[in-house]
Chain A
Amino acid sequence: MEHLISINDLGRAGIERILDRADEFGGVAAREVQKVPALRGRLVVNLFYEASTRTTSSFELAAKRLSADVITVRSEGSSVEKGESLKDTIATLDAYDPAVIVMRHPRAGSAALATRWTDAAVVNAGDGAHAHPTQALLDTQTLRTHLGSLEGCSIWIVGDIAHSRVARSTAAAFTLMGARVTLCGPPTLVPPMIDNALGCTVTHDLAGLGEADVVYALRMQHERMRGGDVPSLREYSARFRVGLERMRPGQVLMHPGPVNRGVEVTGAAVDSAASLIPRQVSAGVAVRMAVLYELVAGAERAHPAGGEVAA
């Protein structure tokens, strides 16, 4: 694998390979010295055109635990705001000879475009509403750990599908791992033909939720809402808020965070034993370590820092 742009770059075998490696890296956090030398002397650049505390910190920590040097570039106050093109920004960062550029950008396709202008491996940390493959990997890891396997399992993704890169990437990953995915939300927040596009079932009614093994609630992204896609959050919540009263025992709850308690999901559900949300967060670092390792050490096994990964 040269870059990680979308989950489809991996396929099922690739997902399993990375998650197996993440299992190994998962032990690193438990050690006294929480580091392995795999990426020593290599540079990881985080390039974030959108603020995201949790994704940036998760990637920074993953890179540091692999002993890489890390710099984080945010668009605020940078040359980007002075109108520099993506091409020139990437070319400038490329001059530092990074091993990996981790990129978050508000436009679909921007990470793929960046690969044209750098020799570094590019990790897509979110491009518009298109893809967020490391989120999908950590979600898959969380479920794999909890359920053993996703084969034949029914997963409902509920909420603002239209504006969600998480929905697209997790749906693709879950499907590749053998799960059946249902997308549920108001018609104005579910794009036409997305069932064909992603190979999922679409419903606008939460009544059938009992069928699900896993309920994956999406953040209601008010900042992205254009032209009043729902009349009010109150009305949205009345029809689509996930809560314990709508779930059946044995179901588990997931959410990519940050949670709007009381909007897309009730606080009680978030705090309940059904919630896997804290596990998603902790899976993030190990999964991102595995991705960085795969892209750098995995691609050049002869590299001196490679080979001796085992935690």
Chain B
Amino acid sequence: MSGRLAWRGGEPADLTILGGRVVDPRENLDSVLDIHLRGGTIAEISEPGSTAPAGDAFDAGGMLVMPAFTDPHVHLRTPGQEGKETIATGTAAGAVGGYSQLIAMPNTSPAIDGPDILRGILARAAEEAVIPTGQMGAITLALKGDALTEMDLMREAGAAGLTDDGMPVANAGVLRKALRYQSLVGLTIALHEEDTSLSLGAPMNEGEVSARLGLRGQTGLAESTMIARDCAIAEAEGARIHVQHVSDSRSIDAIRLAKERGLAVTAEASPHPLLLTEGACSTLDTRTKMNPPLRFEHDRLALIAALADGTIDCVATDHAPHSLDEKEQPFEDAPFGVTGLETSFAALYQELVGEDKLQLRTLVERMTSGCIPFGIPEPRLQVGRNAEIAVFDPTCSWVAGQGGWASRSANSAFAGWRFGGRIALTIAGGVKVHTLERSGDRS
């Protein structure tokens, strides 16, 4: 299955990661250990100092050593909008953030809605991608919500799954057809849940901030009613769906109910709605404009609880790069979306684990589960496996965006935030893809 991820590869690492706190809840690991990599494979996980390192050594004393992260929802803007991001820069941003797997959305220009263009993108990823990268295909042609794409030919071409992300499948009849046809294809269908007759394309949440500023607002009902509708159709058709970027507390209720009824539904949440509310939009900073929009504090708390109890299966950044020119406009005119790959773990670790709102082991699980809904195995710290490892230095303080970004775009909602820790080393596919230069920024 992981053949569906393409990347440029590299020289397999011979490396020992010494004395870090190794945390992998799936392997029941949480103690100080050495990890020995030989030829890119995890050769041994041993008590500190018990085996002499062969090859290079990385001193991980005081650091967290985790399975690398997986993100099922990123926008690499290729083809057509390479001024915002390329496969090379977007995947480099992933490496900086501790990721070893990304899945890219097909709402490009033109959309990735057929087997030929999909094959072309995967071929490009095989040349450019710094870490293994999958590509979703569209559910409907040109994301128009009418005619189904050649879903099965896209599967054959290597699609990770299917989605019209950026647009809902508004027509219930079309969605039902797609979900029925899915039984032939087998790919998971990921859904951007938005009833546009309720959201009206409004630039922020409908609440106190929009009332004060005189902006139109999107009610959370635009999301929750659509999720309820789609869960009902998926249940009736025995389909497998993944709910993208959940933001509203009533959406969580709908997903929880569907899971209790045994539906094959998974769901993701992004760092932004987990850490920010509509209050962040008060100054009309366009780096807080995203779809779905930042909502109320009670939604944020419900989202954290759902991440903790597993109703939300995974963290997805919805990394959505946009150029400065586009974001330097009045709030209503600026495009939706913020970047996220380079800050996600540092932000969630500090604000959720650091504030005792989430256990570290739970955060590690949610950060590494993103590809599971698409049938791609999650990274594990297991002897014999190709190494996929993220090392986090919790004492390396930094200011997000200071010194630039690996992404081609700078539209981060966390720009200017000071984080107490930072990803120090990333291994993807057995290759060292990121090492933090420690130019005196270790506090």
Contacts and interface: CB of A to CB of B under 8 A. Distances in A.
A86 B334 CA distance: 12
Nearest to B214: A129
A194 B332 contact: no
A105 B331 CA distance: 13
A197 B215 CA distance: 13
B48 interface: no
B11 interface: no
B214 A165 contact: yes
Interface string B71-98: 0000000000000000000000000000
Contacts of B211: 191-194, 196-198
B355 interface: no
B325 A168 contact: no
B19 to A, nearest CB: 49
Nearest to B217: A191
B200 interface: yes
A193 B213 contact: no
B333 interface: yes
B342 interface: no
Interface residues of A, number: 27
A110 B206 CA distance: 20
B209 interface: yes
B217 A130 contact: no
Contact of A109 (B200, B207, B213, B217): B213
Contact of A107 (B208, B217, B333): B333
A218 to B, nearest CB: 13
Interface in A73-113: 85-87, 105, 107-110, 112-113
A187 interface: no
Contacts of B213: 108-109, 130
Contact of B284 (A109, A165, A192, A196): A109
Contacts of A192: 206-207, 211
A87 B328 CA distance: 8
B330 interface: yes
A267 B332 CA distance: 37
B330 A110 contact: yes
B212 A194 contact: yes
B2 interface: no
Contacts of B330: 86, 105, 107-110, 113, 128
Interface string A119-130: 000000000111
A84 to B, nearest CB: 12
Contacts, number: 65
Interface in A147-174: 163-165, 168
A197 B209 contact: yes
A178 to B, nearest CB: 20
A108 B284 contact: yes
B207 A193 contact: yes
A193 B214 CA distance: 12
A62 B210 CA distance: 33
Q: Which of A130, A165, A168, A193 has the most CB of B within 10 A?
A: A193
A63 B355 CA distance: 55
Contacts of B46: none
A199 to B, nearest CB: 10
A276 interface: no
B284 A191 contact: no
B329 interface: yes
A129 B210 CA distance: 10
A266 B281 CA distance: 40
B200 A85 contact: no
Contacts of B284: 108-109, 112-113
A107 B217 CA distance: 14
A105 B330 CA distance: 10
A191 B284 CA distance: 18
A231 B212 CA distance: 26
Contact of B325 (A85, A107, A164, A194): A85
A197 B212 contact: yes
B328 A109 contact: no
Contacts of B217: 191
Contacts of A194: 211-212
Nearest to B330: A107
B208 A128 contact: no
A131 interface: yes
A222 interface: no
B208 A197 contact: yes
A108 B212 contact: no
Given A108-B332, A163-B214, A165-B214, 19 more contacts: A85-B325, A85-B329, A86-B330, A107-B330, A108-B330, A108-B331, A109-B284, A113-B328, A128-B215, A131-B214, A164-B214, A168-B212, A168-B214, A191-B211, A192-B206, A193-B207, A193-B211, A196-B211, A198-B211
Q: What are the 3 A-B residue pairs with the smallest beta carbon separation, nearest first?
A: A129-B214, A107-B330, A197-B212
21 contacts: A85-B328, A107-B330, A108-B284, A108-B331, A109-B213, A109-B284, A109-B330, A113-B284, A113-B328, A113-B330, A128-B330, A129-B214, A130-B215, A164-B214, A168-B212, A191-B210, A194-B212, A196-B211, A197-B211, A197-B212, A198-B211
